[in-house]
Structure 1
Amino acid sequence: MEQQKTTQIVEALLFAAETPLSIRQLRNLLSEFDPEQVGAAVAELRKQYNEQEPARGIELVQVAGGWRFRTRADLSPWVRRLYQQTPLRIGRAMLEVLAIVAYRQPVTRAEVDAIRGVDSAGSLRALLERELIRVVGRKELPGRPQLYGTTKTFLEVFGLR
């Protein structure tokens, strides 16, 4: 099929997706298309949305190992009016625990407690509920403690790849 049609379909998929889509996921979804055309479509969309003058209200960004559309940061005051929701609040203790998990992952609760010097069960539970961390496995120790790691939601919230 022609490149323009591929670009239109990729644009529609990225727009409709709730989570970032990787090039691999896009190629799997569009298996009947030439894989190079799918990659070229993402590059073309990135150029159209991010480099065109005057700038558009949305941009195509790479985040959490994939691509997604989002509103430009300088327009966020107006977009916030649409969603009168409270921002994700993370207390100091939770931020400490999240930083330890992010830097030391996979990490057990006992290891987090040892680094902090206090019990971290409550913070770990709250971070699990907010889907910023997840259980990634179990350590080969007596009792087989859970190992924690960060999630794609963590990457999205903090704007990381």
Structure 2
Amino acid sequence: MESENIGEGTKIWHFVHVREGARIGRDCIVGKSAYIDLDVEIGDRVKIQNFVSIYKGVKIEDGVFIGPSVTFTNDLYPRADAWGEDMITHTLVKRGASIGANSTVICGVTIGEYAMVGAGSVVTRDVPSFTLVYGNPARIRGRVNKEGLKV
């Protein structure tokens, strides 16, 4: 673990790599084998399950749930020999959102407050607050309340 910006009460499981400059809030749980890249921002009371990859340019607000094996990308045009700070595309996950297992979040999107992304989804565009999306690509399938129940 390279970052020193870990909030009080946060539990980090084994084989987790938290890069320098990453900030993790209070009372979070980071599951085993997760990767949190340079300068990632994670709010308070966030639950990150096992094998999650969060790359530079991602900001996660308070109370977010991220299921096992979720991957966030950060470069729309990845190439092995052309990488730099100007290639990073930012992603925002707003308060209370939930992202199901094995989902992929393509960079540059905002996932709204209390939105729910179904397991296995590929998120390619913004998800409005209190919306249920799933599929490949993820499409709006309904509305949810703060508890994640369909309304």
Normalised by the shorter chain, which TM-score bucket? under 0.3
Structure having the higher Rg: 1
More strand by share: 2
Larger proportion of helix? 1
